[in-house]
Amino acid sequence: MLQQTTVAAVIPHYEKWLRLFPDVFALARSPLPKVLKAWEGLGYYDRARRLHQAGRILCRDLDGKLPDTSEELRRLPGFGPYITAAVLSLGYGRPLAVLDANVRRVLMRLDRIRAASAAGVDKALKRRLDDLLDRNRPAAFNQAMMELGALVCRPRNPRCPVCPIQAFCRAFESGEQEIIPPPKRRPCERIETAVAVIESHGRYLIQKRPPSGLLAGLWEFPGGKREKGESLKAALRRELKEELGAEVETARLALKLRHAYTRFLVDLYAYETVLKDIPPLDGRRHKWVARRSLKMYPFPSGSARIIRFLEEREKGRRHGRSV
């Protein structure tokens, strides 16, 4: 859960997760859609899928217990070198150093390593970290290093005046703490999507995304990406023709929202749409769902915000307000 985000942002998700799945057996027994639903808002849904698969393997083959060797752990879905070292050192007290993005930044600043890419120097950093590791208290050491990176040696505005290792820090000595490591420049693609909110007799049409690829297996409102040179409404008409085999009668913009993913910035336009005819649909891929029941399905963040909008609007109408 903590990948690409902060502890403060994760805490409510973590608490909810533990209420739903108090142990690994509860997780393993749960169907995947329930697990994906519980993960909503955390992004990177493959992690939830792998956690679920690992839970099922643990319950089926290992009495629900996490193994304590690197070989066995690495066979579980989602267990790469980082998670494996973290489980073995934090859970079992094994003398293994954990190199995550926070620790990498601390070490690069400590030794004033000005490499162009932080990941490119991992081997050298791992050796340095192994030398520093307190073998008698590996869990405390690893957590201290991660916390130092997260709270003090922050990516921007590091808190050098209160840093406990300032006296040894070569980047601080040379005044380069802000430029080590160099900031990553991720290509950020801008995408515009037009989606249809289609209501019939108080129920809304939703569709399931394919089982692999981006946001696999989640539900969404029908629609898709605007092609070059196409207007948003034309994109909506084309997508609904392709996805549902349906013609649009009217489409009225109800909501515009922007959502940032790691590599994309998505402008999402939700149109209240009336179709000329509703063609027969594949029940495994499409569903008509009452507004109140939409909450039971896992949606990506953009669609979840449309659902909140529908909920607010319904409340507003009940109280005689227009939203």
- Name the site residues for ligand SF4 (rule: CB under 6 A): 106, 109-110, 152-153, 158-160, 163, 165-166, 169, 171-172, 177
Give residue 54's Cα distance to chain centre.
Answer: 18
Q: Which of 152, 196 has the CB closer to ligand SF4?
A: 152
Dist CA 323 CA 304 (whole Å)? 17
CB 127, min distance to ligand SF4, A? 19
- Beta strand 264-275 pairing with 248-260: antiparallel
Q: Which of 146, 153 has the CB closer to ligand SF4?
A: 153
Q: Which of 96, 108 has the CB closer to ligand SF4?
A: 108
CB 14, min distance to ligand SF4, A? 27
Strands (E), the chain: 189-197, 199-200, 203-208, 219-220, 223-225, 248-260, 264-275, 286-290
From residue 160, alpha-carbon distances to 108, 143, 149 in Å are 14, 19, 11
Q: Is 78 left (phi over 0), alpha (psi -120 to 50) or beta?
A: left
Q: Which of 59, 153 has the CB closer to ligand SF4?
A: 153
CB 179, min distance to ligand SF4, A? 11
Q: Which of 180, 196 has the CB closer to ligand SF4?
A: 180
With beta carbons less than 8 A apart as the criterion, state whether 33 and 25 touch: no
CB 129, min distance to ligand SF4, A? 14
Which token pair is 208? 């399931």
Q: Which amino acid is at 158?
A: P
CB 107, min distance to ligand SF4, A? 9
Dist CA 174 CA 171 (whole Å)? 5
**Burial, 97: exposed, middle or buried (Cβ in 10 Å; 0-12, 13-18, 19+)?**
buried
Residue 148's nearest CA partner among 196, 115, 109, 195 is 109
Q: Which of 175, 211 has the CB closer to ligand SF4?
A: 175
Q: Which amino acid is at 8?
A: A
CB 141, min distance to ligand SF4, A? 15
Q: Which of 147, 312 has the CB closer to ligand SF4?
A: 147
CB 123, min distance to ligand SF4, A? 21
Going by C-beta distance under 8 Å and a sequence separation of 6 or more, which residues neighbour residue 120? none
